Amino acid sequence: MSLSIVELCVGCHACEAQCPNGAISAARPAFVINPDKCTECLGDHDLPQCAEICPIEGAIVDEFGEPMNPPGSLTGIPLHLLHLVNGAGEGECRT
Amino acid sequence: MELPVISNSAPAASSGCSESGCGTAPDALSHLPDHIRAKVQDHPCYSEEAHHHFARMHVAVAPACNIQCNYCNRKYDCSNESRPGVVSELMTPEQAVKKTLAVAAAIPQMTVLGIAGPGDPLANPERTFATFRALSEQAPDIKLCVSTNGLSLPDCVDELAKHNIDHVTITINCVDPEIGAQIYPWIFWENRRIRGVEAARILIEQQQKGLEMLTARGILVKVNSVMIPGVNDDHLKEVSKIVKAKGAFLHNVMPLIAEAEHGTYYGIMGQREPTPLELEALQDACAGDMSMMRHCRQCRADAVGMLGEDRGDEFTLDKIDTMEIDYASAMVERAKVHQAISDELEMKRALKAAPKFEPEAAAEADAAPPLSVVAPSVPATRPIRIAVATKGGGVINEHFGHAHEFLVYEVAADSLRFLGHRKCTPYCMGDTSCGDGETVLAGIIRSLEGVEVLLASKIGFEPWGNLEQAGIQPNGEHAMEPIEEALRAVYDEMAAAGKLAPVAPSESSAATVAAAA
């Protein structure tokens, strides 16, 4: 039983400090959860701390690969507009 | 002619800005008690005067955040964007310390180190305080600042006091949880994500508690607010009163930045940004007797250099790695530079205060008295906004087409006031983007809302015509002249030509308008 982090991760370190088991380590392209240490916070907290603080929808997934924070659940942006967000982060900066 | 300068607060004591960037600087800090003014008058972010002489830097050591704001997108890192929350390189505290020392040695004017993100500095207490600890030991001549959303602030006040961090900025966008719920979708609090009004209520409580704790300990607090039209614009007047009553020494109302391409909630949802005039009006309404920061540039969380400039590229991690820094000798050099700047500022203040030698006036006075005694009447002219293109030095020395921003002044018959800067995309950024000139120009003209005259060192034929059509008179006759003198000359010329009749319909109200100006 372990959560894991996928490449949507932006590396903000928020989860690292919250993990009661020290299971999360900084890495790129995505931070890594050590499956041997992860308990999904059972016994420590009601809810998995990494998923509670993570600001990125879809970055943390459960053992079935299902996102802990599904699209739209954190920003409140309606599903039909979410593609606009995804386009924004990919090097389309304005000079 | 000596111009009285309307400050946003108390009577102006000096005007150091005239020697460079802004042209006019009311000493908006003059109302502050001496011990506070001593702390902030050399701070580029707090003192309009200082920002032309001293530089600041931010180190991006604090990536984690404990809340979500609707104007922020945590995914967005870009080297070309300049706005809060955006960085190119995240640093460890060790790297940040080395970078700070490298910048301080290379740019001796750099007096202020701030930690402002890209997340919330106090949501990364270990990284933030490790940086402060090392810097207060190794570089005691650098002022330390931190900005925060306030959620963790009450827990950090003791630690902040320990490191002698005497400037804290809290971003407070509301004191009403119902309004807060429209700004903050969630916070992370006591091991869980909390949403809606409850989240906003907790955040507001923590912010207010933190503000009170800091001011009780004599730690200076500035409050930043983001003006979000239709959400908190009216409400910010109340925020301003409350934070002032609780002892914040500055309230900085900034415009929302919400472009769709930033991928923020507000950007995607089409929440509009305030117009320059709306921002000015709210800043005026919030000012009261509390000074505002009209020169704020909403810097990136890794900005380096003078306000409005970013020299971060000179100090990337790989470049810093190869640098050898002898901070002990740098500190000696820095002290000399700081002393020279202080001396210069002192001299300018003294010059400003000294009586002016005006041979013409003296000659007139000596000559025969005037034929008829004209009662000194207040000219019945209205105040206007004039925009100026400058790259610094206090003179009109920027081509219209190269300007990244215009400084906007309110000029009246007997006063001059800096209102703020209007950012824009330069009309002509070389060959590649000139094809875009048409739409860029429309954007510039929109950003100049309310402006009636534009002074630049040179203005091209095409934009000239478009500006005129938009009711903005372009003027290139004052190239290389000091801003204040040019503004006065242009205003007086327009007044003499009868172009500045008050808008008020009746004759009797004219004097009132002029007096109010």
Domains of chain B listed by start with CATH number: 32-330 (3.20.20.70), 384-516 (3.30.420.130)
Q: Quick check: bond before B359 cis, omega within 30?
A: no
For the cut 60, the answer to whether the pLDDT of residue B19 exceeds it is no
Tell me the mean pLDDT in the region A55-68.
95
Supply the pLDDT for residue B487. 94
pLDDT tens per residue, range B292-325: 566 676 666 667 777 766 788 888 888 888 888 8
For the cut 50, the answer to whether the pLDDT of residue B509 exceeds it is no
Residue B36's pLDDT band (boundaries 50, 70, 90)? confident
Interchain CB distance below 8 Å, A89 and B263: yes
Supply the pLDDT for residue A62. 95
Supply the pLDDT for residue B511. 43
Supply the pLDDT for residue B154. 98
For the cut 90, the answer to whether the pLDDT of residue B414 exceeds it is no
Q: What gap in Å lies between CA B365 and CA B349, rounded to an integer? A: 28
Task: Please identify which residue in the block is written with the tokens 């009868």.
Answer: B498
Tell me the mean pLDDT in the region B121-137.
94
B192 near A CB under 8 A: yes
Q: What gap in Å lies between CA B10 and CA B29, rounded to an integer? A: 8
Taking every pair of Cα atoms in chain A, the longest distance, rounded to a whole number of angstroms, is: 50
pLDDT tens per residue, range B376-410: 555 588 999 999 998 877 789 999 999 988 999 99
For the cut 70, the answer to whether the pLDDT of residue B367 exceeds it is no
For the cut 80, the answer to whether the pLDDT of residue A21 exceeds it is yes
Main-chain phi, psi angles of B171, to 5 degrees: -90, 110
Interchain CB distance below 8 Å, A81 and B269: yes
CATH number of the domain where residue A56 is located: 3.30.70.20
Supply the pLDDT for residue B347. 81
Least confident of A50-59, B78-87, B204-213, B266-275: B78-87
pLDDT tens per residue, range B146-205: 999 999 999 999 999 888 686 899 999 999 999 999 999 999 999 999 999 999 999 999
Supply the pLDDT for residue B90. 83
Q: Quick check: bond before B474 cis, omega within 30?
A: no
Residue B35's pLDDT band (boundaries 50, 70, 90)? confident
Kindly provide the ipTM of the predicted complex, given to two decimals. 0.92
- The reported pTM is 0.79
Residue of higher predicted confidence among B83 and A61? A61
For the cut 90, the answer to whether the pLDDT of residue B456 exceeds it is yes
Taking every pair of Cα atoms in chain B, the longest distance, rounded to a whole number of angstroms, is: 85
For the cut 50, the answer to whether the pLDDT of residue B105 exceeds it is yes
Residue A36's pLDDT band (boundaries 50, 70, 90)? very high
Tell me the mean pLDDT in the region B266-271.
94
Reference B347, options B11, B12, B19; nearest CA is B19
For the cut 80, the answer to whether the pLDDT of residue B327 exceeds it is yes
Calculate what percentage of chain B has a pLDDT beyond 70.
Answer: 76
Supply the pLDDT for residue B130. 96
Reference B248, options B275, B218, B215, B225; nearest CA is B215
Comparing CB atoms, the residue among A49, A56, A93 nearest residue B75 is A56
Contacts of residue A17 in chain B, CB cutoff 8 Å?
A: 64, 124, 126
Mean pLDDT, chain B, rounded, equals 81
pLDDT tens per residue, range B481-496: 988 899 999 999 999 9
Interchain CB distance below 8 Å, B64 and A56: no
Supply the pLDDT for residue B287. 75
Residue of higher predicted confidence among B517 and B141? B141
Least confident of A12-21, B83-92, B214-223: B83-92
Reference B311, options B110, B93, B134, B15; nearest CA is B110
Cβ neighbours of residue A3 closer than 8 Å, sequence gap 6 or more: A33, A38, A40, A48, A50, A51, A60, A61, A62, A63, A68
For the cut 60, the answer to whether the pLDDT of residue A94 exceeds it is no
Supply the pLDDT for residue A83. 85
Q: Check: CB of residue B121 under 8 Å from CB of residue B168.
A: no
Task: Please identify which residue in the block is written with the tokens 């701070």.
Answer: B43
Write the DSSP assignment of B251-311 as a string of letters: EEEEE----GGGT-HHHHHTPPPPPHHHHHHHHHHHHTTS---TT-----TT-EESTT---
Nearest-CA residue of chain B relative to A91?
A: B78
Cβ neighbours of residue B174 closer than 8 Å, sequence gap 6 or more: B180, B183, B200, B204, B232, B235, B239
Tell me the mean pLDDT in the region B421-428.
84
Q: What gap in Å lies between CA B6 and CA B18, rounded to an integer? A: 14
Helix (H, G, I), strand (E, B) or coil at B405: strand
Write the DSSP assignment of B119-144 as a string of letters: S-GGGSHHHHHHHHHHHHHH-TTSEE
Residue of higher predicted confidence among A80 and B29? A80
Residue B505's pLDDT band (boundaries 50, 70, 90)? low
Contacts of residue A26 in chain B, CB cutoff 8 Å?
A: none
Residue of higher predicted confidence among B296 and B127? B127
Which domain range does residue A22 map to?
A: 1-95
Supply the pLDDT for residue B5. 36
Residue of higher predicted confidence among B57 and B9? B57
Tell me the mean pLDDT in the region B249-261.
89
Most confident listed range (A15-24, B26-35, B102-111, B331-340) = A15-24
Nearest-CA residue of chain B relative to A10?
A: B75
Contacts of residue A94 in chain B, CB cutoff 8 Å?
A: 80-81, 259, 261
Nearest-CA residue of chain A relative to B91?
A: A12
End-to-end CA distance of chain B: 18
For the cut 70, the answer to whether the pLDDT of residue B459 exceeds it is yes
Helix (H, G, I), strand (E, B) or coil at B148: strand
Most confident listed range (B59-63, B202-206, B432-436) = B202-206
Amino acid identity, position B367: A
Tokens found for residue B250 = 């500055």
Supply the pLDDT for residue B62. 92
Supply the pLDDT for residue B125. 95
Cβ neighbours of residue A37 closer than 8 Å, sequence gap 6 or more: A21, A22, A23
Interchain CB distance below 8 Å, B265 and A75: yes
Nearest-CA residue of chain A relative to B191?
A: A49
Tokens found for residue B98 = 């080395």
Q: What gap in Å lies between CA A27 and CA A16, rounded to an integer? A: 11
For the cut 60, the answer to whether the pLDDT of residue B348 exceeds it is yes
Count of domains observed in chain A: 1
Q: Check: CB of residue B120 under 8 Å from CB of residue B62.
A: yes
Comparing CB atoms, the residue among B77, B90, B188 nearest residue A53 is B188
